[in-house]
Amino acid sequence: MKIIPAIDIINGKCVRLTKGDYNTEKMYNENPLEVAKSFEDHGIKYLHLVDLDGAKASSIVNGKVLESIANNTNLTIDFGGGIKTTSAVKQAFELGATQITAGSIAAKNSALVFDWVREFGPDKIILGADVNNRKIAINGWQESTKIELDDYIKSYMAKGIQSVICTDISKDGMLKGSSIELYQQLRTKFPALKLIASGGVTSIQELDKLKAIGLEGAIIGKAIYENKITLKQLEEYVN
């Protein structure tokens, strides 16, 4: 199972939010590259990089951060936030992203994201499924839709999507555990899906549970920054 630390960017700095609420912003480091290098120094190979300013602006804002991390580390980066157009997808790849995560745009304009899957390849586009009570949420999680999670995943798998980051909003940033039951259900229903857990991962023991379910990866955010999970522990885990 891939261990995927998260770096969320506001004003070029590394921050975390709680349940996606911008009013809960907490800054952890002014230098995201420094954070990314510390991950790499501990044997980590993957990074989930989110441009929170971009998510608000509906265009990439912190592209220089992506470019800096891509140019100065060997991390495999999946990038999200502000990717609403084909030109933005191309920009993200040109700046060094290996994959992009299609979030709100995938719920609002599925035809466009289907085009991206065809143009760039299904291995380059990750579906972002942010859920509240099994319904998809959009626009920085501030808006709920009537789209059922299972139907959403099914429709995208039919078009070739292989990987899904599923975030339970109620768990995100709470440090109270992730949605094990939800992920178990999704693994049973979609056994071929490369499912990546996100939100609430708090302990090494929880990573063992997620791995046992058969998840492709686990995104870890606040638990690292609040020292609930140390980089030394993650180094031992990935090795």
pLDDT tens by residue, 42-62:
999 999 999 999 988 999 999
Say yes or no to pLDDT of 19 above 80.
Answer: no
Among the listed ranges 28-37, 137-146, 182-191, 203-212, which one has the minimum average pLDDT value?
137-146
Residue found by looking up tokens 């059922």 in the block: 148
Q: Which of 8, 53, 168, 172 is catalytic?
A: 8
Say yes or no to pLDDT of 175 above 80.
Answer: no
Report the distance separating Cα 220 and Cα 239, nearest Å. Answer: 17
Q: What is the pTM of this model?
A: 0.94
130 catalytic? Reply is yes
Residue 186: pLDDT band by 50, 70, 90 thresholds? very high
Annotated domain spans of the chain: 2-238
Domain 2-238 in CATH 1.10.10.10? no
- pLDDT at position 144 is 79
- pLDDT at position 173 is 64
Kindly state the helix (H) or strand (E) to which residue 143 belongs, with its residue range.
strand 143-148
Q: Which of 53, 130, 168, 172 is catalytic?
A: 130
DSSP conformation letters of 83-142? --SHHHHHHHHHHT-SEEEE-HHHHH-HHHHHHHHHHH-TTTEEEEEEEETTEEEETTTT
Say yes or no to pLDDT of 174 above 80.
Answer: no
